[in-house]
Amino acid sequence: MSDKNSGLIASLAHQGISRRTFMKYCATLASMMALPPSAGRAMAEAMAAARRPSVIWLPFQECTGCTESITRSHSPSLEGLIFDAISLDYQETLMAAAGHQAEEALEKAIEENKGKFVLIIDGSVATGLDGAYSCIAGRTNLELLKRVAPHAGAIVAMGSCAAFGGIPKANPNPTAAVAVTDIIKDKPVVNIPGCPPIPVVMTGVLAHYLTFGSLPELDKLGRPKAFYGETIHDRCYRRPFYDQGKFAKTFDDEGARKGWCLFELGCKGPVTYNACATVKWNGGTSWPVESGHGCLGCSEPDFWDGGGFYRALSMPADPLKMAATAAVVGTAAGVAATFANRAKKGAAKSAHETVTLADLEK
C-alpha cells in the first residue's frame, strides 16, 4: 500500500495490466456511466496520471461482505487491482498494521491529505448508548465518523448498511443504527447501496472523482444515476415472460425450469434500482435472477423489512390480523341491526291502529 508517488497505471502495469486493457476498461466504465467516449480517455489519463489517491475506509457495523465483493469478486478483477492500487491508508480488515499503529496511520492520513482523501464507509452507525455498540480502538463509530468526515474530499457510503442502515437497522433495530447521511448532513455523500454493492460502481465513482474532481450525478437517494437509474425489472431478461403472464409458481416447477418470471416467487425487481441486470456479477458471469432467484431489493432502503423475500409485491406484506375480528364485529353489527329493525317494525305494527269506516266518517 505504499509508494504513493507512482501513478495508478504504473502500479497496474506492475501487476501485469497493460495500458491497452486499462484504456478498454475505462472506456467501458465511461459507457456504463453514460458518459461520452471521450470521457473514457479522460478517465484513463486522469487515473493513470493521478497520484495514487489516498483512501480511508472506515468499517462500522458491517459484515465485511462489501469488502469481499470488491476484493474477491473474481480474480483478478480489475476492480480488485485498482482497489489494490489506490493508497488505502486505513482499512481495518486489509491493513497489516494493528492497534496503536493503525490508529496512527489513520491520523497521519487525515493530516497529510486534508480535504483530498476519499472516505469510504461500510456498515451502519450505531447511535444507541451513545454509539457504544460498535467501537474501534476505544472510539465509537459515531465519534470516528465525526472526526474524519469533515476533512474528507469525498465521502462514499459503501453498501446498504452505510447508505441506508441496512440489516443492523432492520426491525427492531437494537443498536439504533442509522445511515451515514443521517449523521453527515453538510457534505454530499455518494450512496452505493447493495448487499453487497456491485464492485464496478465503486471504481466508477472513484474514476469520476479522479477525472473530473467531482462526484457523478446522483439520484434522490444519493445513488449514482448511471448505475441506479433503472429498475432491475425494466432491464430484466425475464421481462417478456412477465408481460406474457408466465410465472414460475415454485422454485422447481416447469415455469422455473423454463426461466419464466419470478414475480410470484417474491421478486422485488420492479421496485429495485440497481445495475445487476446489465452489469451482472462475478465479471459478468450471471446475476441473481439469471440463477433462478428473485431480486431481494437489496439496494433499496429497508429492504430487510419489506414484507418477506418470497412474497410477491402485490401480496400483503404482513399477515392480515384484523380480518377475523372484523368479520365477527361486522356479523355482530349486522345481527344487531337486524334486531333493531325487527323491533322497529314490531313497534310500528303494535302502534298501528286499524282505521274503521266509522273513523273516516267522523
Partner 1 sequence: MNEMQFLTWVRGPGLDIAIGIFLLGVLWRLIEIYTLGRKQDVAPGRQRDGASGLHTVFRRSVPPPGMVRKSPVTYIGGYVFHIGLAIIVFLFAPHIALIRDLTGLSWPGLPSQFVDLVTVVTMAAMVVVLFDRINKPAKRYLSTFQDWFTWTLTFLPVLTGWMAVQHLLLPYTTMLALHILSVELLLIFLPFTKLFHTFTVFGSRWYLGKINGHRGVPV
Residues in contact with ligand SF4 by CB under 6 A are: 194, 232-233, 236, 238-239, 242, 261-263, 267, 269-270, 272, 274, 276, 287-289, 294-299
Does 197 help bind partner 1 (rule: CB under 8 A)?
A: no
Does 263 help bind partner 1 (rule: CB under 8 A)?
A: yes
Does 24 help bind partner 1 (rule: CB under 8 A)?
A: no
The binder of 326, among ligand SF4, partner 1, none, by C-beta within 5 to 8 A per type, is: partner 1
C-beta separation of 118 from 54 below 8 A = yes
Cell, residue 339? 334486531
Report the residue from 98, 315, 343, 347 that binds partner 1 according to the rule CB under 8 A. Answer: 315
Q: CB neighbours (10 Å) of residue 148?
A: 20
The binder of 346, among partner 1, ligand SF4, none, by C-beta within 5 to 8 A per type, is: none
Smallest gap from Cβ 119 to partner 1, in A, equals: 24
Contacts of 164 (CB under 8 A, 6+ apart): 179, 191, 193, 221, 300, 301, 302
Q: Taking CA 76 as the corner, what is the angle to CA 74 and CA 82, rounded to the nearest 5 degrees?
A: 110
Does 137 help bind partner 1 (rule: CB under 8 A)?
A: no
DSSP state of 96: S
The binder of 274, among partner 1, ligand SF4, none, by C-beta within 5 to 8 A per type, is: ligand SF4
Smallest gap from Cβ 145 to partner 1, in A, equals: 21
DSSP string of 286-344, one letter each residue: B-TTTTT-----TTSTTGGGSS-TTS-TTS-SS--SSHHHHHHHHHHHHHHHHHHHHHH
C-beta separation of 302 from 224 below 8 A = no
The answer to whether the Cα torsion of 82, 79, 47, 221 is positive or negative is negative
The binder of 288, among partner 1, ligand SF4, none, by C-beta within 5 to 8 A per type, is: ligand SF4
Does 354 help bind partner 1 (rule: CB under 8 A)?
A: no
The binder of 307, among partner 1, ligand SF4, none, by C-beta within 5 to 8 A per type, is: partner 1
Binding residues for partner 1 restricted to 209-228, rule: CB under 8 A: 221
Cα 330 off chain centre by: 43
Q: Which stretch binds partner 1 (CB under 8 A): 116-124, 186-194, 203-211, 299-307?
A: 299-307
Binding residues for partner 1 restricted to 334-353, rule: CB under 8 A: 334-335, 337-338, 341-342
Q: Determine the 3-state secondary structure of 231 from DSSP.
A: strand
The binder of 236, among ligand SF4, partner 1, none, by C-beta within 5 to 8 A per type, is: ligand SF4
In 3-state terms, the chain is what percent helix, strand and coil (to 5)? 45, 10, 40
C-beta separation of 198 from 272 below 8 A = no
Report the residue from 24, 302, 309, 310 that binds partner 1 according to the rule CB under 8 A. Answer: 302
Q: Which residues bind partner 1 (CB under 8 A)?
A: 221, 231, 234, 242-245, 247, 263-264, 270-271, 297, 300-303, 305-307, 311-318, 320-323, 325-327, 329-331, 333-335, 337-338, 341-342
